[in-house]
Amino acid sequence: MKYPLPAWGNTLSGKDVSGMREMRVEFLYWEDCPSYAQALLRLREVVAEEGVNSEVEVIRVDTEDQAQQLRFLGSPTIRFDDVDMAPPVDQSYGLSCRVYLTDDGRVTPLPSKEMIRRALRSAVRTREV
């Protein structure tokens, strides 16, 4: 499914991004961590709001072997063009619920829309270089 572009046009930080909209967006989750549905909803909203016309690849991780193979850093994991949205210092793969830190230092299992948006914009800027 392709996401409709916002009514205000193909803009991201005021730039025309129409030529760079085929970004790979991956969402990996483990069902044991209950916030994944909310995280996926936020990701899809951000992708649509930012005018990135990519399909979100949703990947369910069920086993430790899969977690290793998919470089799964915990649920939920979001990657843009194969780059994790918030690379942790300790990159250990496995079935776990993932810790995110809010801007004011609180722990949360659920990345905010702003965190996702910043990471997406950073990925777009990387493409521009």
Task: State the Rg of the chain over Cα.
Answer: 15
- 25's enclosing H/E stretch is strand 25-29
Is residue 66 part of the contact set for other proteins (CB under 8 A)?
no
Please answer whether residues 57 and 71 qualify as being in contact, where contact means their C-beta atoms are separated by less than 8 angstroms. no
Using rule CB under 8 A, residue 108 touches other proteins: yes
- Considering the rule CB under 8 A, would residue 109 count as an interface residue with other proteins? yes
Residues 3-32 that bind other proteins (CB under 8 A): 32
Candidate list 16, 18, 22, 34; residue touching other proteins; CB under 8 A: 34
Q: Is 59 in the site for other proteins (CB under 8 A)?
A: no
CB burial of residue 84 (10 Å; 0-12, 13-18, 19+): middle
| 81 token code pair | 């063009």
Per CB under 8 A, does 98 bind other proteins? yes
In the complex, which residues of this chain contact other proteins (CB under 8 A)?
A: 32-35, 96-100, 106-110
